[in-house]
Amino acid sequence: MLRPARIAAVLAAVVVLTAVGGVSHLSSNVSTAPLRAEPTGSSAVEQGDDLDILLLGSDSRDLEDASFGAADGSRRSDAMVLAHLSAENDRIDVVQLPRDTLMTLPACPDTGSGAFSGGRGMLNSALNFGAACSVAAVEELTGLRIDHFVELDFEGFIGIVDALGGVPVCLESAMDDPAADLDLPAGPQTVDGKDALALARTRHAVGDGSDIARLGHQQMVMSALVQEATSRHLLARPDTLYSFLDASTSALTVDPGLSSLVDMTSLGRRAAQVEPENVTFMTMPWQPDPSDPNRVVPSPEAAAVFENLAADAPITAPTSDGPGEPAPDGASSPPGTADRSTPTPAPPSTSEDQPDGRATADAEAQTETEAETEAETEPETAVETRTADRDLCAP
């Protein structure tokens, strides 16, 4: 992550910006890109004062990032996270969107990375044609209207974690993955940026080696980042705070609506009102794609999650037994209920189904290695959530 973890640092950075004066020059560090590729014909519905922000972790394979993979010029979203800030500023719901989600990608006009005619492909391949195409794909997948996007790359994530002095994690077992240059013992520890990135990216040291298997570690690092970046000791160290803000803003690409210090501060003030126990992380409910068991599609339960986000309702309701219980009356049923009809299975993928141009080559590249795709994923029938205040070593 880190995929999502890289991006959780962005939200945390925005929160901290609100507590500091005299940092307007940092806003010049931020790069911008269009939010939408016009015309898109999006079917998403406009919402109220609540916000939906798409967080993208980019695995750009340019020369600068060649140490993380072959410098082939491709660009995919290594992580896609949908963060929902409630209208009352009392709740943040964070939904991880598996990058291996197979869908019909919408057509996307040229926004500087080439035009895309649309077609069946992986969700993360949309970023190869620009962030606006990723926004269009997520709107198609969820039915939500995305208000903003934030993109962060590998180098940027490492810099953010290192600026914080590392982040605390707790591993149930030792992690050893030579391919990712990862060798960590079991138990509580503080990891630097490179180890944090490797921890959330490793496939071989986690479960069955699938993309889904590592999402738990990504959520753990996301929670740790939120806690570290919003902690009081960071605000008490101007040198550390400045390094964190400089690393964060230098690593970002955002839409024009978030490009100024005023915009960031406004969002940060809202997000800062949310208590850590009201920041909830979960993974989109999924099931294996009928045509390819190594890829996933949203399960029937996912519709309820997206409907709740659209209605600005909690995706889960906390109880004395922990998160994951049904949402309150008036909200759609959360993950785990069975009152949704099963969607029509996608047809088997053929060469005609694949997007043209670079998307076709990108779809082939995403197979990466046989070791990464040979494990058959099992459907996620029960969705586990975690909150940002959760004890790192708690069961």
Residues in Cβ contact with 245 at an 8 Å cutoff, skipping those fewer than 6 apart: 13, 16, 17, 20, 23, 26
Residue 364 pLDDT: 40
Up-side HSE of residue 342: CA atoms within 13 Å toward CB? 6
Residue 30 covered by a domain: yes
Within-domain flag for 394: no
Lookup result for tokens 């606006």: 132
Residue 393 lies in a domain: no
What is d(CA 354, CA 352) in angstroms, rounded to the nearest whole number?
6
User: What is the chain's pLDDT, residue by residue, as a tens digit (395 residues)?
Assistant: 444 554 555 555 555 554 444 455 677 888 999 999 764 444 444 556 999 999 998 876 443 444 444 444 456 677 899 999 999 999 999 999 998 899 999 998 876 667 888 999 999 999 989 999 999 999 999 999 999 999 988 888 899 999 999 999 999 889 998 888 899 999 999 999 999 998 888 876 666 556 676 777 778 888 888 888 877 677 677 778 888 888 888 888 999 999 887 787 788 888 888 888 898 999 999 999 999 988 999 999 999 999 999 999 999 744 333 333 334 433 433 333 333 233 333 333 333 344 444 444 344 444 443 334 344 445 544 455 666 665 556 65
3-state secondary structure of 171: strand
Number of domains in the chain: 1
Q: What is the phi-psi region of residue 41: left when phi exceeds 0, alpha when psi lies from -120 to 50, beta otherwise?
A: left
In a domain, 107, yes or no: yes
Q: Is residue 237 within 8 Å of residue 19, measured between CB atoms?
A: no
Q: Is residue 357 domain-resident? A: yes
Beta-bridge partner residues of 298: 286
CB atoms within 10 A of CB 250: 16
CATH of the domain at 227: 3.40.630.190
Gap between the Cα atoms of 36 and 25, Å rounded? 27
Parent domain of 287: 4-387
For residue 181, the cross-strand partners are: none
User: Would you state the structure tokens that stand for residue 13, as one six-digit string?
Assistant: 């950075």
Is residue 12 within 8 A of residue 226, CB to CB? The reply is yes
Q: What is the pLDDT of residue 232?
A: 62
* 54 in a structural domain: yes
pLDDT at 248: 85
Q: Give the Cα separation of 105 and 109 in Å (integer).
A: 13
Domain contains 395: no
Residue 204 domain-assigned (yes or no): yes
Q: Which two tokens stand for residue 369?
A: 């290695």
Dist. CA 392–CA 225, nearest whole Å = 12
